[in-house]
Structures are given as structure tokens and as C-alpha cells.
Structure 1
Amino acid sequence: MNKKRQLLILIKHSFLAILCMQFYQSNAQNQQVADSLKIIYEANNFSGTEKMEVLRNLSFNEINDIKLSLNYANELIKLSKKDKNYIYLHRGYLQQGNAFRLLGDLNKALDAFFKSNAAAVKIDFDAGQGSATMSIADVYSDIGNPINARIYYEKAITILRRTADTISLATALLNAGEEYANSRNFKNALAYYRESGVLFEKVNYEIGTAYNIGNIGMLYAETGEDEKAMIYINNAINILEKNKDYYAISDYLTYMSDIYTNRNNTKKALKYASQSLKLAIKHGLKKQISISNEKLAELYQKSGNYEKALQFYKKHIIYKDSLKSIEIVQKIADTRTNYEISQKQIEVNLLNQQKTNQKIIIISSLIFLFLTLLLVIGLYRRYVFINKTNKIIEKEKNLSNSLLLNILPAETAVELKENGKVLAKKYELVTVLFTDFEGFTNYSENLSPEQLVESIDYYFSKFDEIIEKYDLEKIKTIGDSYMCAGGIPFKTEDHAYQIILAAVEIIDFVEKSKSRLLDNQINFKIRIGVNSGSIVAGIVGTKKFAYDIWGDTVNIASRMESNSETGKINISENTYQLVKNQFSCTYRGEIEVKNKGMMKMYFVENLM
């Protein structure tokens, strides 16, 4: 080998090493990396694992041409199968699934992701299992199956928490948040977005941060806070444009169009929708092409241009059904070909046998056709029965899942379904709130049960709205006592602050209700107590189970309530230390507490 040849190979390997190192450091798609690696790949001076890694990077970073990305993934799968390299087989199927998903072929995408997961399971590769499971959840979300999507997101998050793959964990949390946002469960969505945003910033992952900012913007758009939505979405688009991630930009441009539609600014709404369509067409994003055409049809119809509205709506339908139509046509063609071949074969057989015994052949054919008809009828009836049964089962399954999510936190519900039980979990710092109506015993003795229950329901229904507003978790009600907590099941830093805000709003609601109550409702007076500290949370019982919390922190919170006064929020020393810079409080001194001795207490006065 001459020196010039040696030098060229050394340069090639050094360049490859630098590019791969850059890829691992950023873990973000980058078209420039794909363009650089393409030059090295076309030289074809390497093989084995080195070639597989280049193909993986090419498929991952190729943004401008999705079909080219798919070709790289297919070649990677072929090579890894040949070498029986399961880690690259997992990666190849993962990239193949991503490409199919972008091209709108969700059935092939789902099949590829399941194969990716199987390869990762074979070698006990947790990070790979987590990524593949998350991708499966993404596809279920795309096809409108929220139950399966949530189950697989929670499963992916559980797996990825065991790994050091921060970016994949953050991405799974982000996508799970988006699924909850689609179901209008904004509380859970925001909790997932918060955790994913912290993780993306921790590893300085720009693309992830952009998606996080954009999704929070979409959340604000859904809740009518258009100004905040525009700021967040525009910031996300700026980051994505720098990274050439056109799929997300097209999606966010559609949301900007929605915002201006709500403001009756049709001109700007059309501008953003047109930009979204232009990007989607340029990069072959079929799903976004369909969505953008639908949006433009809606806007032109609103402005009275029905001819253009119809044109765009037709294109929306064509792209929406294109893949499905191609599949159906192909199946019809295959069925017709098979039928014609079988008919030709029967004809040949009949001609050959006709010389010996034509009558027997005709009778046999008639018997065969009759039996075939009976078989087809039987199979059809069986198919109808099975299909009907499966729909009933699916409906009942979805109902049970929905009920479970209503009474338990999502994380707890998933653990219960997977393991049949839920392990108790300790939280080092949460804040617990108790309320109590004064003189409730006297009311219960002098009023009818119906009137008493109606009055309590009036108050507790509003309490539920207030704690949901502040992202708190309702634990239970015991008679006239209401209990909730902040900082569970998702850890937060501002749980004490949010609890006090909720308590202030509850006091204000009870006070204002004095002038609003109906004749058959009772005007209660309320006391509130709050304490902060560690607790243990879990499920009580095996049949009529309930999510509950235990610990000395809970007992002291109850004592804070019993030592409070009418219309007052009584907090412990622990809680005071957490909120003293945010609320003005009055020190009450040390007060004797049953079974606890002397304890410092404070009344919350107002927000600083």
C-alpha cells in the first residue's frame, strides 16, 4: 500500500470519528452531518460495525429526503441481519419506523417499531426497549388510540428511568404530555412538559427544548391564552428553523393559523396555513399536507371563497386517503389475479377430465361449489361474531381504563395494571391541606340528609375545581373534611405556595357563597390547616381500593386544622419556612397540640 493511499484512509477514519463523536454529543438531527457522511459513505472504504454506524447516522440525520433516510435504514437492517448484530438491527428498525411514520404509512411504522423492540429485548438493551416502546406509543397516538398510547408511554417512561438516556426519557415525557393535552387533560400534560423541559435543558438539547416550548405554546392556545401561545410557538419555530426540523415547523405554523383564526384575522391565518402547506409539500410530509389543506379549506370557506375552499378540501381528502386507497387497490388486484388463475386451472382440469367422465366432473364441481359456499357463509358468520365480540371487549376495556385513570394518578394506574399491585412510595417533601366545616354536627342533627348532602356537594365540587387549577392532588373526603396534597404524584418545588393559593381561594369562595346559596343549601363556616413534610403514598385495599397518604405530616396537618379559627388558614413552622418570602403571616406563638406537645403556628394573612 503506497503512502498516499494510507494517508487518505487515515483522513477518512479521522473524519468519521469526529462526525460520530459530534452526533453522540448532540444527539440531534443535523442535515449537515448527513451531507458530510454521505461523501464518506459513497467512497465505500469500510465494512462491518463501522459501516452500520455510518448508515445509522445517515438515516437519522437525513431530514430533507425521507425516502433516502428509509433506504439507509433498509440497508442497515440487511447488514445487521447478515452479521446477527441485534443492537444495530434494533437501530435499523427504529430508523425505518421513523421514516415510515413521516411518510404517513403508520401500519408499516408500527410493525417496524415492534421489531425494533424485539431486537432490543433479545439483548436486554433497556435504552433500546424504552425508545422502541415510546415510538409504538407515538404511532398509537397518531392513529387515534389514546388508551394504548398512554399505556405504552407510561411503560416507556418506566423503562427509560432505569437508564442514563436523559434525552429519550425527556422525549417520552414530552410525547406523553402531548397525548394528555390531546385528551384535554391539561394538568397531567403540564406536569409532563415541566419535567421534560428540565431534562432537555440539563443536557442542552436544542431540538427537545424547541418541542417543549412549542407544546407549551399549543397548550396555551388550547386554553385561550393566545399572547403566551404566540410567544412560545414563535420561539420554538426559530430554534427549529436553525436546526432544519421542518415537520414540527409545519405543525406549529398550523397552530399559529388557528390563533389568528380565533382572532378573526383571516389574512394572517391564511399566511401561516399556506407556509405550513408549502413546507409540507417541499419535504413530502403527507400528514401535514392533509392537515394544511384542510385548514386552508376551512379559512377560504369562512371568507366566502367556496371555490378555493372546495379545491383545498379535495386535496385534503386525497392525501388523507392516498395510502389507504393504494393498499385497497393492491389487495383487490391480488384477489382478482388469484381468482383468474384458479378459474383457469379449473377450466384446464375440466378439459382434461372431460374425455373420461364429464358427468362426474360436473356433479363434483357442483358439490364442491356448494360446500365452498357453506364454508364461506360459516366463515363470514364467524367473522361477524368475532368482530362484534372484539368491539364489545375493546369498549369495556377502554371504559375500565378510563375509570381507573379517574380514581388513580396515571403512574399509579399503569403500575396497578402491569403488576396487579402498587408499591408504597415515599415522598421527602410535600404539603398537606385539611378543611373542616364548623358546627357540622349540629347541622347534621337538625337538617334532612338530602339537604345536608346537597350543601356539602356544592362546596366540595368547587374545592375540586380549585385544587385542579393549582395542579394539586385530591386525596379524599371524610364527612365534612376535605383533604388534598401538593407535590404528589409528580414532585414539584412550589407545592407549598400552590397549596396556600388554593387555600386562600377556598376561603374566599366560602365567604362569597353566603350571598349566593339557594334556600335549601346551608351557609357553612370553614377552618383550614396546612403542614409540610415527608409522607408515604399508595393504594389501600384490594377490591374497593383508594389512593391515600400516611405519616406524621398528615397527622400534624389535621392538628393545624383543628387549632385554626373561622375563616383562617393555620400553618405549621415547616410550611411557614417554605412560604415566608411569598406570604405575609402572623405568628401565633407555641400552642399545645394533642399528642404532639407545643408547636409553633402562623395565620396566613395575604400574598406579598
Structure 2
Amino acid sequence: MNLISLKEKGYILMAFFCFTINFAVCQNQKLADSLIAEYKSGTNRDNELDILAKIVQEETNPDQIITFSELLISKALRDSSHHYLYHGYLQKGNALKFKGDNAEALQSYFKSLNFANRNKDKIGIGSLMISIAGTYTVMGNSKNAQNYFNKGIQLLRKSNDSIKIATALLNAGDDYFNNGAIDSALNYTEEARIIFEKINYPIGQAYGMGNLGMIYAERGNDVLAEKNINEAIVILEELQDYYPISVYLTYMSDIYFRKNDHETAFGYAHRSLDLANIYDLKEQISEAHLKLSALYEAIGDLVTSYKHYKEHIAYRDTLINIESVKQMADQRTNYEVSQKQIEVDLAEQREKNQRIIAIAAAISLFLIGLLAFGLFRRNAFIRKTKAIIEKERDRSDHLLLNILPEETARELKEHGTVKAKKHDAVTVLFTDFKGFTSYSEMLSPEALVETVGFYFSKFDAIIEKHGLEKIKTIGDAYMCAGGLHGSEENHPQKMVLAATEIAQFVYDTKQDVKASDLNFDIRIGINTGPVVAGVVGTKKFAYDIWGDTVNVASRMESMSEPGKINISQSTYELIKSDFHCEYRGEIEAKNRGKVKMYFVNGIKKEILTPV
């Protein structure tokens, strides 16, 4: 039975706790935006260092934090202000760590530590040492991590900040736990829990007890493990902190499965999945399905196990495989190397010919003729090989453009990485087939792929026709966007036109007697607003967009009706003069409360010429 190990789940949860409360303050993006506007106005140049320090403290976007931290550092260097240099490098390190640039984060932390030492700020020094230790933990360097944990905890014990002390102890226990030092992990975690309990810090108490439960489970003491985890869940439910609850529930499932109490084990696993679905915790939805798949496999129910495994894959598999692009690039590199080798071979052959000419003219003439024939054949081979390589390069470029937008593909080829970009106005569309899941269970994998391909190929053509950007497909869901590039004007109108054509195509297909097996209805949802776009991954790239706009577009689709196009208030305001729309009222949407929605019923006039 392929269950997630206790240690792996403990690492996930304790690392989450470290990230959320480790010396952080509550950030306020609205305040950050106000401070940025004040700074750009230039009205408070006398206290610009203080404004910049507040901006990097309140800002939530890591790229913005890095930008303003570097600005703060440059101006603080000019004024030799150690306090602001300490603050600038600290916040820059936090942002870099959030982005996963751990090596650069360490450099910033050490620079911040240097200025904290100059200021003789013992609490700042202790806090930085814990941050450095936590970064080493993420990088897998436990030796350095424990060294800095010990130094940081020793300094923080001299302060009166109980939360920082307890958090440092909990994170040190995390590192010990993940390196098999269970007794040390227990001592540090128990001390942290006691401190959190004394100061009545509920979130700390909850994670302390939950982590203790995982440690006891690792030691085989299921009674104490169950007791601590259940107490942690009670507190977390009061705090409405549902992600760790969902993780702990799968942990309880492991405990009862080891006891051969399969009914209770399945109950906890299903409860974890239900909670994750209610609060749209996609990562834990995937893990809960994986847990249920493993449980059903262990009791021999392979059909149900396979269904849950498919759901796990559907949530997990957001990356696109472009390994073939790398292979084609390797072919091109190999070709360039072979060209150099050919040049060397030719040079050696010429030297050999000269020696032969000196020995005998008759033999040299014969060899020259032979060489000429060989060169002719070689050059013909080279031309043929070059044509093949150029064709493969074109295929590689074409494949990359099929996966990524042209601008993004160009940036990836030139720099090897792609920076995430924020777009203020993007229109996002989601589609989904009604009844597809039950229909797909009756088809073979080959027929299922052929059916989905039939529809999505036409969707691709419609999206390309209107100059929009396909983002991805997940199962029978299709997602695209408009407005990601400056040249895309009137993208809300174009998206609604494309949605109209998609709905009409699905309807016509359903009416076609020859295509009667493709009997589907489609729901379509559209929303307009700001998004962040970028490339996910380092080996297998995937272009994607994120943000509340995407979530609302998905809600528009799920709240639509078969054959209908459901749009949000923001999209309606942009297209209402061009389309007939029907106000649906304020409708309750999952995790959104009541939301104004509209059905698009038709076009008022010719508004666009398709690209």
C-alpha cells in the first residue's frame, strides 16, 4: 500500500506553520498601495527611507518587495543607515525565500545579519539566525540548520518575545523530525507547545499538538498521537484554519488503518476530501484522493482505487510535457559539434593529399579525383543533414509556440527563464461538459481521447480565429484568456463572440445524426479582471494564470446552465452595448457569497472582424 509516510506529512505541515508565523507581521496590500502612491508623488522626501521600509513590510507581492527593498538598500547605503539596511536585506531575503531562491535569500539574510550585529540588535540577530536556519532546512542542509537554530534560540531566550521563542523551537523540532532525531524533535516541540499554551496563542497550540501527534505516531504511540491530533483539530476548526485540518484527517486515517479499523480509516479520509472540496483546497483534494486510492487498493477494491487515482491526477497534472523540445534542441547542438568535426577532417585530408602529391603525381591525381567524389558525397550529405536539422528546429519552435505564447516563448529561449507578469485587465473563459464523467466511464481510453480531441480541436480553432490565448485543459474543462498581450483590443467582446461560436458548435454537433455518440451539453463562464501570468516549473514548463479573476471565471462556469454563457458583472459592464444580456440576479456562488450574473442571449450588431 503506497501511503504517504508520516515523516513526509509532518514536514509538509510543520513547514507550513514555519512559513505562516515565523516572525512575520500581518501584511496589508491596501496600505502598501497607498504608501507606494505617496512615495511616487515625491511629497515626503525627508522621510522616504521610513516610507520605503513600511512599503516592503506591508507589500504582499514578492517581486514588488524585492524591487522596493533594493531601492531602500540603495538609498540607505547613501545615508549609511544601518537600521534601514538591516530592514531592506531582511525583507528582500523573505521575498526571495518565498519565490524559492534559497541561495540568494541566504545572501540577503547574512547581509542583514551583518547590520543587525552593527546595531547590536540581539532580537534581530536571533530572528535572522532562525530565518537562516529555516532556509538551510528547506535546502536539506540539516547540519547548518541546527547550528543556526541553536544560536538563534539561545539569543531569543534572553528576550521577552514568547511567540518568537516558541516558533523557533517548533521549527528546530521540525528539522530534527525530518532527520530521524525523534527524541530531540519531541523535546523541542513539547517545549514550544507549553509556551504557546502559557501565552494562550491558539494557532501555536494547535500546531504544537498536531506536530506532537505526528511525532508520537512516528514512535508507534497511536493513543497519544490520536489524542493530540484530535485536540489540534478542535482548535483549528474554531480558528477556521481548514488546510491543516484536512492534512491531519488523512493522518488519522493512517493511524486507524494500522489498527485494521478500516471503516474509521475510510471515514477520516473521506472527511478530509469533503473538507478540501468545500474550501477548494486543490493541493489537499489531490492528496485526499491519493490517500483514498491507496486505501481502496489495500483492501482490494481496484475499481474505486482507480477512480480516486484519476481524480488525484486531474488536480495534480497542471504541467505540460515539453521534453521533446529539449531533445530537438540537443539534436541541434549535436549537429553543430559534428560540423566542427567535419572541418577538422577536411583539414587533415588536405594535408594528406599534399604528401601524396610529393610522392607521385599519378597517384595524387587519382586521389584528388577520389577526394573530389568523396567531397561531393559529403557535401550532399551535409546539405541533407542541415535540411533535416533546420526542419527539426522549426518543429521545435512550432511546438514551443503551441505550448507558450510567442512573447513568453521568446523570453524563455533568450533567457532560460520567464518572469511572472501582472495584467490589469484580462478576460478568462472556462467551459465544461455536462455529464461527461458518467459518459467517459463507458468509453475505452482511446475513444475518450478521440472524443475530447474532436471538441477541443474545434475550440482551439475558434480561439485562434479571435486572437485569444488557450491556457490549458483539465479533463473535460477548457480554459482560455484574452488581454494577455498589448495587441489584444476588445478582448471581452472577442471572448464572448468565441464563446457564442463554441456553444453553437456543441449544439450543432448534438443535432448531427452522424455524431449522435457525441451527445453533450456545455456550460460556459466568463469573467474579466487582473491576473498574474507566468511559467511554472524548471524542467517541464507550463504557461498559466492565477488570481481571483480566474477563480470567479470558474465559478461563472459552474453556476451556468447547459448551452448558456454566464458572465460576471465586470464583463457585462464591458460588453453590454454590443450584446443582448439577461440579468440573472444575485446568485449564491461557492466561497463567494451572492454574485451578480448575466446570460448572454445574442449579438446586437456586428462589432468585430475576427483575426
Higher relative contact order at CA 8 Å, sep ≥6: structure 1 or structure 2? Answer: 2
TM, length-normalised to structure 2: 0.41
Task: Report the TM-score when normalising by structure 1.
Answer: 0.41
